[in-house]
Amino acid sequence: MEAFIEGLRLVVQWPAIGMLFLGVMIGLYLGAVPGLGGMVGFAMLMPFTFGMDPVVAFALLLGMYAVTTTSDTLTAVLLGVPGTGAAAATVVDGYPMSQRGEAMRALGAAYTGSAIGGVFGALTLALSLPIISPLIVNFAPPEFFMLGVLGLTYVGALSGRSIAKGLIAALFGLLIATVGYSTQGGIARYSFEVNYLLDGFAVIPLALGLFAIPEIVELACRGLPIARHGEDTPVRGQMLQGIRDALKHWWLVLRSSVIGAYIGLLPGVGAAIADWVAYGHAVQSAKDKTQFGKGDIRGVIAPETANNAVKGSDLVPTIAFGIPGSAAMSILLGAFLIHGLRPGPDMLTTKLSFTYSMVWTLVIANVTGAIALMLWSRQISKIVFLRANLIIPAIILFSFMGAWMNKSQLGDWITLLAFGVTGIWFKRAGWPRPPVILGFVLGPIMETNLDITLQAVGWGFVTRPLVIAMIVILAVSFAFELRRQRQMRSGGAVPAANGGEAKTDKLEAAPAPLSNMLLAGAFIALFASALWIARNWAWDAAMFPKVIGVLGIATGALVLAGAIRSYMAAAPGPDDEAMSLPHIAQMLGFLAAIIVLTKLIGQLVALPVMLGVFLAWWGRENWKIVIGQVLAAWAILYFMFGELMKVIWAVPVFDFL
């Protein structure tokens, strides 16, 4: 109780409380914009936390993350477009309510359920810590290695309709985590004599490349507003009516909170599953099912309550075991490491007050976010009607500068663009991206603990009681996941989870058979090359990459065989002219030009100039908008990054400033 109260004191003092409210405001925007959400938010904000006190840093990050599954309801209800995958089930009944003029009623019920669910999830985190603490002391390297393996078995929940593709993506993440000096023997692995690679990749440029760059390219190529329907006209009194609806169905709210909290405890699952499970429960438990799918308020309350309850409970495996509770937690785990925090016993003993400060952050953020949306829903909803061209420059600016703050080298931007191309290819081929992040973060944890385990006890560690228990859980989880995948392939009602990405993602909704086949072949070649390069390394440095290579080749062969069959059987479909390869290449060329120009004249000139070129050349905006955005970009770079954050700028060939 003393730590619980101390955690509240840490959060409400300045500047933590100010950063929390700032994070809430940013999270409300990111959740409302389809294709962004918590994962992109973590990747964008994490660089700004360098040098901050951990309490202040996590107040900003968790304040943002807590409300993305609250504000994603805006587009789900108003437009039938989920802001994140966690709002996909909300569309089923929320959008029909909007169509019949009850949008604000749906939003009021959703926000109330979200606030209650979010607080419930945070309390689940708080109450579970004393229970988990005695268990943690019995965990040693063998158990932590098996927890990593167990976390990867949940990759199927992030993999849509193909466990094999998700497994290859996770193995790819494990492989790129081995780049740089090995912890065993100090051997430079896969560095190719490039100094930048000796320290390995960082999670921030990797995450921004995989998630932000593909969204930038798609928004630019389509050239359409994010929202393409007319604004809904709210009716007075509907918001209060929605609040009353949520309180009236309090028993459904409570059950949905329990569902969300329980699912959040399962590593690798997350809100994209919880909302569908809660929605299905609401339908199954209702006496009158006739209005579901036509605008039943219960179909809004259940998923919105559950997906917010996930946020607190999916921190439990992340904090207690270092196993990300969801794909977004994979990135947050990187933030723990950046701030010198090690998940595990320390978080439940010496740093318990800090752990409880995160609980309070989630509680305050959920309540604040829900109240803010109730007050500003009509105004905030207008953001999604802005032309894409007006939003893209800001996303480019913060994505590039977010990546830059990793090592302050042009290699950060090259990494950003390289993984951006990878992310686009994944989207075109219909492959999941969250498992890459999951594998990348779990890789060092698994390799280090496996090496220690083998040196200490050898392969006999598999007979340890907790290890045996996790092997059983692993087998059962895998069996259930295979069953779920078969149901999806046979056209069952079980939804495909996409790791928090919007289900309206057109590239992943209609994968290109040729891209799918080529990507599978490319991965076989990649894993084979990794295996060949590692052939002469010392045993302890080569073991992990070799295991990854063998598994990758075997799994890739299975996927390639299926991809060839799909390609041969696929009938030619209509071309998506907006997302044609020439258009994608032009946008990627524009982003590459930013890197080249920065090398020549530096960021303070190159970024504003190139953003102006984008608005004038690609967006064909008028000169007032172009000049305004160029000046705004320069001011952000100079004052925010230069003066406030003291960023180390690139040294240009031609220094004009």
**What sign results for the dihedral spanned by CA atoms 109, 113, 116, 118?**
negative
| Alpha helix (H) residue ranges in 534-622 | 539-569, 581-601, 603-613
Using 50, 70 and 90 to split pLDDT, how confident is the model at 99? low
d(CA 412, CA 418): 10
SS3 state at 119: helix
Q: How many other CB atoms sit within 10 Å of the CB of residue 624? A: 8
Longest CA–CA span in the chain (Å) reads: 73
Q: Is the pLDDT of residue 136 over 70?
A: no
- 288-341 per-position pLDDT tens digit: 766 676 777 888 888 888 877 777 777 777 777 666 666 667 677 777 777 777
Distance CA 45, CA 398 (A): 9
Tell me the pLDDT band of 286, cut-offs 50, 70 and 90.
confident
pLDDT value for 496:
37
Residue 384 banded pLDDT, cuts 50, 70, 90: very low
Q: Is residue 341 within 8 Å of residue 153, measured between CB atoms?
A: no
Residue 228: the pLDDT is: 46
pLDDT single digits (tens) 605-629:
999 999 999 888 887 888 888 999 8
For residue 504, what pLDDT band results from cuts at 50, 70 and 90? very low
Q: What is the mean pLDDT of residues 171-186?
A: 85
Q: Which of 372-376, 515-519, 557-561 has the lowest mean pLDDT?
A: 372-376
Please write the tens of the pLDDT for every residue from 216-228: 888 788 766 544 4
Q: How many CA atoms within 13 Å lie on the side-chain side of 119? A: 12
Backbone angles phi, psi at 180, to 5 degrees: 105, -175
Token pair in block for residue 586:
């032009």
- Who wins on pLDDT, 11 or 18? 18
Amino acid at 466: L
How many CA atoms within 13 Å lie on the side-chain side of 410? 17
pLDDT, tens digit, for every residue of 51-62?
777 888 888 888
Q: Could you tell me the CA-to-CA distances from 444 to 433, 439, 459 in Å, in that order? A: 19, 9, 19
Residue 403: its H or E element: helix 388-404
DSSP 8-state code for residue 631: H
> How many Cβ atoms are within 10 Å of 463's Cβ, its own excluded?
10
